[in-house]
Chain A
Amino acid sequence: MAGLALALALACGGVLAQTPVGVTEVEAGAAADAPLAARYRVAVIAGSNASGSVVRQQEWVFWRQADTVAIHKGGTEEIWQRDVQGRISLQRVLHAQRTVVDYSAGELATLGIAPDWSELSRFGSAAGTAGVDWDDSLNLPGRLTQVIDSRTLVRFDLLESRVGAPADWDLPGHRSAGYARIDAADFGDMAYDPAVRAAESLDVQAGWRQAAHRH
């Protein structure tokens, strides 16, 4: 599961933003304005190199608009939104609990999370990765390999991308309209709620709620 939080952790875990070689900030910003959907195969690989055995595999959907970046990770979604003041908020969608958890900009700050919109728009930072094949036309990685520990890698392979919102794709946010809503600020009063426990668990996997990202 650690790998499933990877992109989020890369984007928000305090890792310094690194613009991939050959991509300027201006180009990155321009590319990020065009609505784009991309499908990735995410493989958790046992072994110290990319040829190891795949122990788990998922398909993620990445969806980028000017003011929204979202990732559908199967059982969960992360929907990042930027308002006109540049403040960034998050909705964490938990399909098993049919619940959306809202993290306001203030709540993210309270948790010590400082999202970097540029990194979010590019599927996370390239920093700390074992390898990146960058797709300049999409401003996204074609392949991204991340070392989790000495025995585990996670590899993201771009399968397909489309401009606009493909009608036949399960894009983030499309299934959660009728879900219950929880404000992350209320977690302290709702420890009994399975959705709160699930969201807190994902927060911890992303390096939040344990102050580890800070020191």
Chain B
Amino acid sequence: MFSRRSPPFANRPIAACSATAVVCCGLWLDAPLQAAEPVVKGPESVADWNRAGQVFIEAGKRLSPNNARAKNVILFVGDGMGISTVTAARILEGQLAGRPGEENRLSFENMPYAALSKTYSWDQQTSDSAPTMTAMATGHKAREGMLSVDHLAPRGECSAEVNRAHALKTILEYAAESGKSTGIVTTARLTHATPAALYAHIAYRDWEADSNQPELSHGAPCRGAEGSVKDIARQLIEVSPAVRRSLKVAMGGGRMNFMPASHDGVNAADPEHPKGKGRRADGRDLTAEWLTTRGAGAAYVWNRQQFDALDTTRATHVLGLFEPSHMQYEADRAKDGAGEPSLSEMTAKSLQMLQKDRKGYFLHVEAGRIDHAHHAGNAKRALLETIEFARAVRYAMDHTDPKDTLIIVTADHSHTFTIAGYPSRGNDILGLVREVPATDGAPLAPSKDANGLPYTTLGYANGPGHRALGRPDLTRVDTAGLDFLQEAAVPLGSETHAGEDVAIYARGPKAHLVRGSMEQNWIFHVMRDAFGF
């Protein structure tokens, strides 16, 4: 493969020769010329590269495997946070702080151990979130769209007995049975695939409320029928006695799946959006049932004010449902009517709840909306979600002890998101590609495609960013605008997941077991080994 980039000294023989002797080149110069200053410069000195390398080596030499049993395990999942997303978010975070950006490190990139995770599922080359989280939660690769049941479970199986027969115990359930506290935090619906895989066992991820279940499945009665599998929201409330005691905090979106469509024949209005209502066809208010089944210390919150007022020293079990569906994107959160906490704020509150337990805890934190913004072909929102995710990880790193707390940060799958062209150091990651000029001193200018049009660094292989009328002239377009959709090669209504590996970062007890190329389900085995179950 040949690079399209100019060789380092192309178009500048004069400057190259002047550094030695004019006569050796046999050229026509009257006098040697001064080399122009590079237009693009990183902040590093020559010595900095060596110094940073030595720091890294010394830090590595001081590493020693921590084989202690983990008191606590925190599993962070950036939904759809492929490696290109990590890279671009790292650059954007650095650039938002006024630096070139490439040298920046997201919080979790400072963890001592890392590996690659192979994300295929039992029946998918490129997976959805259900089998990928099932792999991490249970240690088993599973089928498309299924949550914590094995790959032999029939698709769309509505029988509770059959689902139960194929159920796989999750790391949260292991932790609960060992007497630890547990927690789940997400910016998606609490009933969405990733968080649900920790507490629900169901052969169809979309059955989040009973109204999502069909009247018939495989010819047998399903919704509301005796012996049918419980919908996911109901499974969260009606968990095993051990999980009921253990699950001290569950926060995210998805309020409508816990609220009835009507109450005593009257539409049950959503507290934040009075024209909205619940989705439960069975008439049950599961938010109220959380309070009645979790004891006197139970609390239910649905807005910012209630969240802020939560007394974590007194509350024993907290359910937070801050939106009818998914929570707001971080970029839009400030505009929310009722107000809602950020992912890092929910993480902080959850740790305050869980750290009361001397036996330890398991906490799962998901940045669920990286995935949604990518599906929409909207890179800036996806990257801002990722930066907030890194902020949540930083809080956990700062408020836990690596001697007793294993923290794992990973993604469930990637997206078709790319960082392309030869943008110069510090080039706006959301902007048009501008290469290092072939001649030092020449001005930076947008790189052009074969038709003479500029292009952005970020793009997608498919999705809504495809321009049906051909490539647009982006010269005067604000490609760093929040709502800009990056270009996509293949026209699809929604951008898709991608099948390449994702990264795993780890610190704490047994973090050294995160190494090399791993099957995604081995993450569960690392966590279980760390806990000593």
Contact = CB atoms under 8 A, between A and B. Distances in A.
Co-complex (A, B): yes
Interface of A: 67-68, 81, 83-85, 87, 102, 104-107, 109-112, 114, 177-178, 180-181, 183, 185-191, 200-201, 203-204, 208-212, 214-215
B256, B273, B325, B497: residue with the most chain A Cβ atoms closer than 10 Å: B325
A105 B467 contact: no
Given A189-B375, A210-B464, A211-B377, 8 more contacts: A102-B325, A104-B325, A183-B325, A185-B369, A187-B494, A188-B374, A210-B491, A211-B466
Given A105-B332, A110-B381, A209-B493, A190 B326 contact: no
A45 to B, nearest CB: 25
Given A200-B493, A211-B466, A183 B206 contact: no
Interface in B118-150: 128-129
B337 A189 contact: no
B465 interface: yes
Interface in B483-508: 483-485, 487, 491, 493-497
23 contacts: A67-B275, A85-B335, A87-B335, A102-B325, A104-B326, A106-B332, A107-B372, A107-B376, A109-B482, A110-B329, A112-B485, A183-B189, A183-B325, A185-B376, A188-B374, A188-B375, A203-B493, A209-B464, A209-B493, A211-B377, A215-B472, A215-B473, A215-B474
A109 B273 CA distance: 19
A190 B193 CA distance: 12
Interface string B323-350: 0011011001001010000000000000
Contacts of A84: 337
Given A83-B337, A110-B381, A214-B485, A181 B256 contact: yes
B376 A212 contact: no
B464 A111 contact: yes
Contacts of A189: 128-129, 193, 371, 375
B261 A188 contact: no
Contacts of A201: 493
Contacts of B375: 185, 187-189
Contact of A183 (B129, B326, B376): B326
Contact of A188 (B273, B337, B496): B496
Interface string B193-213: 100000000000010000110
A124 to B, nearest CB: 21
Contacts of A104: 325-326, 328
Interface of B: 128-129, 189, 193, 206, 211-212, 256, 261, 273, 275, 279, 281, 325-326, 328-329, 332, 335, 337, 369, 371-378, 381, 464-469, 472-474, 477, 482-485, 487, 491, 493-497
B495 A188 contact: yes
Given A177-B261, A181-B256, A106 B329 contact: yes
- A-B CB proximity, top 5 nearest: A188-B375, A200-B493, A215-B472, A188-B494, A209-B464
B206 A190 contact: yes
A106 B336 CA distance: 9
Given A105-B332, A210-B466, A180 B211 contact: yes
Contacts of A214: 477, 484-485
Nearest to A183: B325
A67 B276 CA distance: 13
Contact of A212 (B329, B469, B482): B469
B376 A111 contact: yes
B494 A210 contact: no
A210 B490 CA distance: 10
B269 to A, nearest CB: 13
A180 B261 CA distance: 12
B328, B375, B381, B496: residue with the most chain A Cβ atoms closer than 10 Å: B375
Given A85-B335, A189-B193, A211 B212 contact: no
Contacts of B493: 187, 200-201, 203-204, 209
B337 A85 contact: yes
Contacts of B275: 67-68, 81
Contacts of B256: 181
Contact of B464 (A85, A177, A211, A215): A211
A188 B468 contact: no
Contacts of A215: 467, 472-474, 477
Given A110-B373, A200-B494, A210 B467 contact: yes
Nearest to B209: A181
A203 B463 CA distance: 13
A3 B466 CA distance: 23
B476 to A, nearest CB: 10
Nearest to A102: B325
A210 B335 contact: no
A186 B206 CA distance: 10
B462 to A, nearest CB: 11
Nearest to B327: A106
Nearest to B328: A106
Contacts of B261: 177
A109 B330 CA distance: 13
Nearest to B380: A110
Contacts of A191: 494, 496
Contacts of B279: 181
A46 to B, nearest CB: 24
A60 B484 CA distance: 33
Contacts of A186: 372
Contacts of A178: 211, 281
Contacts of B496: 188, 191
Contacts of B371: 188-189
Contact of B211 (A68, A181, A190): A181
Nearest to A114: B483
A104 B336 CA distance: 11
B256 to A, nearest CB: 7
Contact of A109 (B189, B193, B377, B483): B483
B467 A212 contact: yes
Nearest to A200: B493
A185 B372 contact: yes
A93 B373 CA distance: 23
B324 to A, nearest CB: 8
Contacts of B469: 212
Contacts of B373: 110
